[in-house]
Structures are given as C-alpha cells and as structure tokens.
Structure 1
Amino acid sequence: MFIALGVGLLVPATSRLGRPVALILAAIAAAFLIAALSSGDPGAAIVGRWPRYEGLPVLLLYVGLLVAGARVLGGSTASKSRRYLGRGLCFSMLILAPIAVAEAAGLRPLGGADDVRPGATLGNATDLGLVGLVACLLLLPSALWTKNRLAQIGAVAAGVVTVASGSRACILVVVVCGTVLFGFKAFQLMRSGKRVLALTALAGFLGAAAVLSWSIPSVADRLFSTETVAGRVYLWEASLRALSGNAFVGLGAGQFVDVLPSHLSDAFARNVGTEFPADSPHMVALQLVSAGGLLFLLSAGVVMCTVIVAGVRRSRALPVNEHKLFLVGALAAVCGYGFALMTHFTSPGTTALVCVLAGAILGNVPAQEADAGRRPGKVLNSVRLAAAGLALMGAILSGVAASAELPMKSGTELAAKGDIPLASKEFEQARALRPWDQDIDLLAAQAFAVRAVTGDTTAAAAAVTWASSAVERNPGSMEALTALAVGQLGTGDVEAAWKTLDRQIERSPWTSEPYLLRGLAKASGQDAAGAIADIERAAALTPKPERALSILSELYVVSGQPEKAADVEKRLAQAR
C-alpha cells in the first residue's frame, strides 16, 4: 500500500479531489486520533493491533489511496490507467478462481485445517468474497456493454471467486447488483427487438449463479445455515452494550477485543461461544464507532454519500463510453462493498482497492484547474515529493515489520515441536523487528501455552514469561490472562493460576475457558465439589461442550459418583 501510494503521488495527475472532500478526510483522521488518545491504550490504538493493524498509519494510507485514486484514475483523460487496472484485476481473478474453487472443494492447495473456511490467498473467506465482489461489479458493465473479452472472462472468474468463498453477503450483493445490470441490458435489448437474447442473458446469469452455488457442497451448506446469522445478532447486541458508554469518542482502534468480554451474556456464550474472541463487531457502522466514535462514523458516512452522489451525477452526464462504464462499475463495487460490510469488517486486503475506486469517482477536478486555484506549483510539487518520500520510508519500515512474520511462523512451529529455547529466540527476533507490536508477546505466549497443555513444563515456563509480559503491556487482555493461567498450571503454581482465573471470571463471568481451567486447578487441589461446579459452568457456557463434559465425567468417576458420570456421558453423546 505504501508503494502504491508513492507511485500514485509521483505520476502526473489526471484529476484531483475537491477541497470539501479533503476537509472531510482530514476530519476522519482527526476523529480517529482523538479516539486513540482517549482510549485505555493510546499507543496500541495509534499504531494498530494484530491481526489487521488498522491504526493511524493504515488509516492515513486509506486516505492517501483515495487521493492516489483521484490522481491516477479520475477524470476523462485517465482511460489508459483504468484499462491497466481492469487488466490487472482480470489476471488476479484468473489466478484466484481455481485456487478458491479447489479450497472450497476441500483440496486445500494452500494448506490449512479441514474445519477452517477457505480464504485462498487472503486467509479469510469473506475477504476473498469481497475481493471477488469488487472485481466482478467493476468489470461487469464493460463485460456487458463492450466486446472486451478479457473483461468478460475476468467478470466470470470474479463471480466464481465470490461464490467459492461461501460468503452469503457477498453472493447476495453480486446477485442483486448483477441482476440490476443484466436487467438493464436486457431492457435495452428488448427495446431493440432482441427479446429472446434479452431473456436468455438474464436467465443465464441467474441460472449460472444458482448452479455454481449449489454445485459446491460447502457453499450450498452455508446458504441455508442460520448459525452465523444468529451469532451476528448476539455479537451486535453485546457490541452495543460495550459501546453504550463510549459512543462519542469510541474505544480506540484495537480495543474492542479487550472490552467486549465484560459485556457478554449467557445467551451469547451458549449460542456463539467465547473460544475465539471477536476483535470487531462485524458491522461497519459499529466498527467505525468503536474505532473513532460518532464523529468518525459521521465523517466516513459523509464521504460515502459524497461518493454515491458524485458517481450517480457524473455517470448520468456522460454518454455510454469507457469512462461511464468504469464509473458505473466502480460505484456498484463501492456500494456493494459497503453493504457486505454490514456483516463483516474492514481489512487492508480489501479496503485498499475500494479506496482507490472511491477516489477515482471523486476525482473530477482537472489537475490544471486545481493547481491554478492553489499555491504556486513549486510548493505543491515539494509537498507531493515529500509525501512520496514518506511513503517510501513507510514501505521500508513496513517491509521490515512484515519480515517479522518469518520468525513468528518459525517460532510457532518450533514451540509445537517442543524446541522451546530456539522458539523463544525466534520470537525475540520477531519482537526486535516489530518492537511496537504488543501482540507478539501474546502470540508467543499462546504458542507456548498450546504446547504446555501436553505436559511440557519448559513450554509452560515460557508461556508464563511471555504471557506476563503481554499482561504487563495490556492488563485487560483476556487472551493473555488465559495463556498465563495455562502456563502457571503447567509449572505447578496452582495458587497463582487460581488468582489469574479469578481475575478473568470477575471481569467476564460468561467466558467458558477460565471456568474450565479453574476447575482443573481445584481438582488438583483436591476440591472435587468446586471443580465439578466450575466444569459444569464451563460446559454451560459453550455451544461445543464436549471437552468440558469429558472432564466432568472423569471427575464424577473419581469422586465416586458413577450415576452422575453416566448422565454426563449421555449428554456427551448428544453433544457429539
């Protein structure tokens, strides 16, 4: 993204953003910064946190890419750049489509567990669907109204990527927007007397979407599943409770994952589960309020409305040509992305492309006219070159930071194999490459905690060391406290583990894992009744209670209560 921004600032501009849009973008950055400084951990909120690191640097990159999109793709003279973008997306979709289909079919060419939804090269399945959605809607007008074979093939490949992702929101948006575009094309064909061709085209699109969706078992299963939908509703309710007292300035970027556990409920735990803490409300409006407050949401909403108004006005004013088709596709892509985010979250892998397209829609001020009404050209060139230089520095720094993923991966693999000293060295190297990232300590602690569960006392000691550091940097992290408790139990420090778990349960009495671990701690302390009560509570607070019920059955057997053990075995059989 830094490299793209630098190039976008160095090439000759075809158009610029107007002053009102620039002021709104400045308000977005200011609202975000105020929320970050007001949060419980300003440093983490400003630089961003794992896994998406959407702090102030990335937000400024989003804003910068809006500017770059206007400079490179906006205006009537940028047709060559728009063609290059279309070709790039076509080739990208042709690469993604076979990988996505193979992943959806369970072949896993990129690796990964069988029970994890495929995400192709983007890691997250819905992110994959969003990229397919944006590419498909951008290319579809050109595919329908021109004889551009590459655009037609790219649009089909992008549609395949969207469906193969299994994201119902993305599939729905593509089907609805595609139906509108095909319907309009069919209407034009009918007016010209080509009724059969018109009906065939519209029916063919809907039929192809239906056949492709039902032909991939994993996608067909998700289309009729209500589990995720119900989970979203519970998450939104908890998110509203978490934001109720902080709506004006928000929580700050990256703080949601630590604030949410204190606002859960029994119903959330039973129906959604707390094994994988949510780091976003999975709704763009709530995410914006969480990251920057109501002013941040309002500023982003104004930008979105401006994009829609500008896109509709400018596309209506143009004849059917390359620029008009691009504007229609870009507007459909940006709006479709926004609708899909009503059940998802932003990430650099998807938002960057949308920011460029939004900038292309907004960039309608000819560069020469914009320069004439501003400061002298030399000053503007100096500012632009300075910004490009900062982008280059950002690319170097982010490249170094990204290289930390190599020792992180190596450390995780070594920890799983039991080579704890070497794994610790790898994590230390990662921390040296990314010293601002507090979540390296957390991720290292979790890697060692996984090994500690197998009885490796050396791994348990390492988990305590790294988790203690993570808790010191972020006392509110439930994940760090869990890793610390696992390490403490693994080293035999039951009393310390008990205190850590009490601290977690006091903060979030709806989280299953602390009850399970405290039950094990009580069992090792010969408190059978307390252990049974905690494990029962742990089983009641998760939609997948198999592990807790298995431990509970053993506790009943050990405590001389075979009848209750048999009852638990029946519950376990039903759960499986």
Structure 2
Amino acid sequence: MTLLVATPLIMLPGGFHRFVLPKLAILFLALCLGLLAPATSRPGRPTVLILAAIVGTYVIAALSSGDLSAAIVGRWPRYEGLPVLLLYVGLLVVGARVLGGSSASTSRRYLVHGLCFSMLVLAPIAVAEAAGLRPLGGADDIRPGATLGNATDLGLAGLVACLLLLPPALWSKNKLAQIGAAAAGVVTVTSGSRACILILVICGIMLFGFKAFQLLKSGKPVHAIVALLGFVGVAAVLSWSIPSVAERLFSMETVTGRVYLWEASLQALSGNMLLGLGAGHFVDILPSHLSDAFAKNVGTEFPADSPHMLLLQLVSAGGLFFLLSVAAAVCMVLVVGVGRIRTSPLNEHKLFLMGALTATCGYGFALMTHFTSPGTTAVVCVLAGAILGKAPVQNEAIDSPRGRASDVARISAVGLALVGAIVAGVAASAEIPMKSGTDLAAAGEIPRATEEFEQAKALRPWDQDIDLLAAQAFAVRAVKGDTTAAAAATTWAGTAVERNPSSMEALTALSIGQLGTGDVQSARKTLDMQIERSPWTSEPHLLRGLAKASGQDLEGAIADIERAAALTPKPERALNILSELYVVSGQTDKAIEVEERLARAR
C-alpha cells in the first residue's frame, strides 16, 4: 500500500523523461509484495477468465501487428506494452486479494490514509504550478503536471483520490479523509483539466446530493442546503479564481482538436478494427490519415501517440476483441460494485466500495478525452480488484490441487514482477544519460553527447526510440548550422528509420541531418517520401522548400513554403522564410502581402 500510494509522487530528478519508468519500477515492486501479502479474499473465476481474455486478445493482436517488438514492449514515453498490461492485471488481482472482504479493513484504511498524504504533497505543487511557478522545473509555456508529468494525469490522480475519499469524508466524519478529499479536489481543479473538473463536479453533486437528501429526511434542511451549495460554491470559486484554470474552462481549442483527432483516428483504424494497429504503432500510422483541417486547426508539430479516447486506444492497441474483453471487466466491476453497495450495511467497507466504484467510473469517463498512464491507471486497477474480491480464501482447502496450482501461479507471478521491477529500474537509470546527451547536443558537445546516448542505449537496448530521441536532439542543433550535429543526426536517424521505417519523426530528423551535411539530393528523396505518405504534415514541406531554395529552384521553394504555412496553426516561421524568398526572387509586392499575413498571425 505504501508503494502504491507513493507512486504518483515518484519521479527521477535529472532524467530526460522523469515520470514513467521510475513509477513502473515501484509498481512492479508493489505487485511483487502484494502477491506475497496474506490474502483476505480472491478474484472469482469469472474475473480470472475475463483477465485471461484481456491478455490473450492483446497477445494475438500483437503477434499480428506490423511491429512485434513495439507491440510487446511498448513505445516511449509510457511503454504500455505486454509487461505493463500484465502489471495492470496483476494489480487488479492484488486489489482483490488484500482489499476485498470484511477482514481487510486495516489495508483499506491504510490505502485511504496514504492517498490523503499523497494529495497533501501534490496540492501545494499543483497550486504553485497553476500560479505560474515551476518548483519541479519545466518551461513556462507548457502546462506542467507536478510529479505526474502531464496536467491531465495530475487531474486524474486528484479526481480518483477525491472520489474515493468523499464517502468516508461525508459519512464517517473522518477528519483525515476530509482534509485529503479537499486537497485532492484542489489538485484536480488546479490541473486545469476540464474533463476531470466536470466529472468531479458531477460526481460530487451526486454524493453531496445524497448526503443532503439524508439530512433533509432527518429534519436538517439548512444543513442539507449548506452541504450541497457549499460544494458547488467551493468548486466554482477555485475554478474561477485561478486565471490559468478559468482560461482553459472557456477555451474551445483542445475540444475541437480532440474532434479532429478522433476523426483521423477512426480513419487510421478503419481497416484494422479487428486486430488493431499494435501498441505504439498509432503515432506512425496516424500521419497518413490526417487532413488539411486537422493540420490547420491542430498542427502536426507534435504527433499524437494516442487517440485520446479510451475506446479508440483499446482498439488501436489490441482490436475489437481486446476492447470487448476490457468492456466485460468494466461491466463486471459495475454490476458487482452496485450489488455489494446495495446489500451492505453502512459501515467502513460500504463507504470504501462507494468511493472505489465512483472513482473507477469517474476515471473511465475522464479517459474519453485522455489516455491511460501508469501513474493513474495502477490505483484504479487496485480499486477495481477490491470491488471484485470475493469469498475469504481461508474457507478453501489450500492443499487441494486447485490451491497448489494457484500457489505455483502466484509465486511465478512474483518472480516475473521482481524481474519487471529490476528491468524497469535499469531502464529508468537510462534517463540520466538521455538528459545529459540532450543537453550536450544543445550545447554543441557532439562527441560527448554521442557517448551519453550510447550509454543510454546500452541500458535500454530493447527501446527503439532511443535512436529517434538522440536523432531529434542532434537535429535541433543541426538546424543552427552545426555540421557535426547534422552528421550525428543522420547516423542516429538512419538507425531509427532502419528499425522503424514508418516513423515520420525519424524521417524528419534524417532529412534535417542530410540537409545540414549538404546532401541535398538525399534530403529531397527523404522528404518526397514523407510528403507522399502524409501530404498534410507541415515540416516536410518546409524542409523541402529550403532544399529547393538551396538548389536555386525558387518557384518550387515558394510553393512548398506556402503549403507549409497553410498546414499549421502557427505559420510564423514559414511566413518569415516565404517573405525572404519573395524578396530574393524580386517579388516585393508578394513579400509585402506575406508580411501583412505575418502581422495578423502574430
């Protein structure tokens, strides 16, 4: 329980991507210890069969995917491949083992209190970040996510904790639960996630409304009104008093962006619904299914690695059968949870079940605009398992063949979880040289940067994205005219393309390196290939325009730069280059028009 509730707080200071792999290492260790802990209940046979179906359908889809290694181990940055799926399944089993049943009150209380302390740590960090400060580092122009690394993940962590803590806070008068629920609510609101805030308000109104109804029936109408209106008032004041949060509440930019992304995702999945694309392959397939409207309104500078909707994410990773298996598990959680809440007396266990079911449902609804992540999904899996736990294991004959087989499977799972913790820990340590290599590349220390990236690759040889990330770091420096960085970008990007020929990001880094080393013909071929695959991506058009300009093909360069400017919501860079090209070509009137467009864009 300690490791589980501490996971949202775990990060690796000084790492390149500090948030995922360290959390995975701790979660695998938590799974290992959870499987060794004395059991108070067990998952029923239907639950076990559904979990087996989830894993089985995923494996079948992975074996059928175009990139087996990515489907098995996952891709940067969340690495949600088969090991992480097994981790989620294992944590659900652990939740059933140690949190289910009437005799698990101590474990449940420990989980509740632990989440309270986690939220008390996260709340001041979230408030500071909402105020524009960066206590954990990060650029001023991005939405930070405290120790979760993503603002919506931060909101999800607060949402799940708040919904779990609200029932004991309202009905048991548990002071720590009340403080923890308030802190979790602050975390949710200050994250700026509209989906999380909306779901928190809806679920909060339901819980406070039920409490108000009870107060009204007991002859306390004033208390009832104060309880309900007080919750709504506090949520409104928090939301409108923080400028960054209030601004997002009325912004439609990401809402329309999600719609465009879902349309493109459906296009990408249209011929692969049955078995999906394979985990981690979405980011490479999506660019071939975009549109001018997507490029203009959303932008293609930062390729999406998920459809940002749980249903589409599940289909993408494992196909329709995988989706149906997960849906069956969700339905079982709902049916069992509602049934047990209705038949249980109002005690600690019932309040926990109410909070666990509300938190699980709230998390699921929030994922209709987001994606899963180890920092948030793990706790929900444990809560789902706690709902499904049944029949004390002490009532069964542990010397029976079934009991012995169960013990063998459990000990095997313990061994695999321990291996997972070690591998994830070693993989997380690679984030240190990755960060160092990126910083050295930006400073122009190319040989030293190469050594750091080689060290990271030795620590994480299974991760195909290290080559890509190194190539992108060198490409950033190559754009500034560093020919040594351009040569390094060409080398690392070439390896990345060899491992994953469909990666548009790797091809972009390769073309930048080729341009920087003066190999314009090779760069033109690489960019032609990119544009043929995805004519809606802005960067290849921009780079090809520069390549044509270097070959004195000013007419072709102008056409490509015009196209690049039309395919991005932020055309300032392309318009600046376009203005210069018009001046060089002697078309001053066109240059003046472009300057006017540039002024409007700014």
Equivalent position of 1:375 in the other structure: 401
TM-score with structure 1 length normalisation? 0.99
Cα distance between partner residues in 2 of 1:265 and 1:157: 42
Counterpart secondary structure, 2:219: coil
Query: Which residue identity does 1:572 align to in structure 2?
Result: L
Kindly provide the amino acid, as one letter, of the partner of residue 47 in structure 1.
V
Who is 1:26 aligned against? 52
Question: Where does residue 292 of structure 1 map in the other structure?
Answer: 318
Distance 1:274 1:387 in 2: 42
- Compute the displacement of 1:368 (Å): 2.4
1:524 aligns with 2:542: no
In the other structure, the counterpart of 1:303 is 329
Compute the displacement of 1:170 (Å).
0.3
Query: Aligned to 2:371, what secondary structure does the other structure show?
Result: coil
Q: 1:370 to 1:444 in 2, by over 3 A?
A: farther
Name the SS of the counterpart of 2:407 in structure 1: helix
Measured against aligned partners, the alpha-carbon deviations of 1:227-253 in whole angstroms (never above 9, x if no partner) come to: 100000000000001000000000000
What corresponds to 2:295 in structure 1? Answer: 269
Matching residue of 1:93: 119
Residues 251, 568 of structure 1: alpha-carbon distance in 2 compared, 3 angstrom cutoff = same
Q: Tell me what 1:201 maps to.
A: 227
For 2:578, give the aligned amino acid.
L
Shift of 1:390: 2.0
Match of 1:574 in 2: 600
1:163 corresponding residue in structure 2: 189
Q: Distance in 2 between matches of 1:358 and 1:536?
A: 52
Shift of 1:384: 2.0
Worse-matched range after superposition: 385-394 or 341-350: 385-394
Identity over aligned residues, as a percent? Answer: 78
1:487-526 equivalence runs, <5 A: 487-526=513-552
Work out the number of aligned pairs and report it. 576
Letter in 1 for 2:525: K
* Partner of residue 440, structure 1: 466
TM-aligned CA deviation for residue 257 of structure 1:
0.4
- Measure the CA separation in 2 of the matches of 1:170 and 1:369: 41
Q: For the structure 1 residues 304 and 573, does the alpha-carbon distance in structure 2 shift closer, same or farther, using more than 3 Å as the test?
A: same
Which residue in 1 is equivalent to 2:14? none
Q: Do the aligned partners of 1:65 and 1:352 also contact (CA within 8 Å) in 2?
A: yes
SS at match of 1:517: helix
Which of 221, 225, 229 does residue 255 from structure 2 map onto? 229
Change beyond 3 A, Cα 1:372–1:389? closer
- Could you tell me how far apart the structure 1 residues matched to 2:553 and 2:303 are? 30
Shift of residue 370 of structure 1? 5.0
Q: Which of the residues 167, 174, 193 maps onto 1:141? A: 167
Q: Contact between 1:14 and 1:72, CA under 8 Å: does it hold in 2? A: yes
C-alpha spacing 1:421/1:371, structure 2 compared with 1 (3 Å)? farther
Query: What is the CA–CA distance in structure 2 between the aligned matches of 1:168 and 1:194, rounded to whole Å?
Result: 34
Secondary structure, in 3 states, of the residue corresponding to 2:280? coil
What's the secondary structure of 1:277's corresponding residue?
coil
Instruction: From the superposition, tell whether residues 374 and 487 of structure 1 become closer, same or farther in structure 2 (CA, over 3 Å).
Output: farther
Contact persistence 2:113–2:177 (CA under 8 A): yes
Contact 2:356 2:387 in 1 (8 A): yes
What's 1:317 paired with? 343
User: Does 1:485 find its partner at 2:507?
Assistant: no
1:74 aligns with 2:94: no
- The amino acid across from 1:211 in the alignment is V
User: What is the aligned partner in structure 1 of residue 268 from structure 2?
Assistant: 242
Tell me what 2:218 maps to.
Answer: 192
In structure 1, C-alpha distance between the alignment counterparts of 2:137 and 2:424, rounded to whole Å: 26
The alignment partner of 2:126 has SS state of helix
Native 8 Å contact 2:189 2:197 kept in 1? yes
Match of 1:35 in 2: 61
Q: Deviations over 1:395-453 (max 9, x none)?
A: 11211111111111111111111111011000000000010100000000000000111
Structure 2 residue runs without a partner (length 5+): 1-26
- Cα distance between partner residues in 2 of 1:424 and 1:162: 41
CA contact (8 A) 1:16 1:370 kept: no
> Residue type matched to 1:197 in 2?
H
Deviation at residue 218 of structure 1 after TM alignment: 0.6
User: Which of 5, 14, 25 is residue 40 of structure 2 equivalent to?
Assistant: 14
What amino acid maps onto 2:262 in structure 1?
W
Establish whether residue 410 from structure 1 lines up as the match of residue 436 from structure 2: yes
* Cα separation, 1, equivalents of 2:363 and 2:579: 48
What CA distance in whole angstroms lies between the structure 2 residues aligned with 1:374 and 1:118? 53
> Please, which of 540, 544, 554 is the counterpart of residue 580 of structure 2?
554
TM-score by length of 2: 0.95
1:352 corresponds to which residue? 378
**1:77-103 superposed Cα distances (whole Å, 9 cap, x missing partner):** 100000110111000000000000100
CA distance in 2, matches of 1:415, 1:425: 11
Shift of 1:34: 1.0
| Contact 2:262/2:307, CA 8 A, preserved across alignment | yes
Q: Which residue of 1 aligns with 2:449?
A: 423
Shift of 1:379: 4.2
Question: Matched residues in 2 for 1:163 and 1:315: separation?
Answer: 28
Which amino acid is the alignment partner of residue 489 of structure 1? L
> Could you tell which deviates more after superposition, 253-262 or 377-386?
377-386
Q: Deviations over 1:463-492 (max 9, x none)?
A: 000000000000000000000011111111
After superposition, the Cα gap between the structure-2 partners of 1:166 and 1:370, relative to the gap in structure 1 and judged at 3 Å, is: farther
The superposition leaves residues 302-354 of structure 1 with CA deviations (integer Å, 9 ceiling, x where unpaired) of 00000000100001111110000000000000000000000000011111110
Q: Is the 8 A contact 2:295 2:568 kept in 1?
A: yes
**Partner-residue secondary structure (3-state), 2:102:** coil
- Does structure 1 residue 254 correspond to structure 2 residue 280? yes
Q: Deviations over 1:44-92 (max 9, x none)?
A: 1111100100000000000000000001111111000001101110000
CA contact (8 A) 2:398 2:404 kept: no
Are 1:105 and 1:216, in contact at CA under 8 Å, matched by a contact in 2? yes
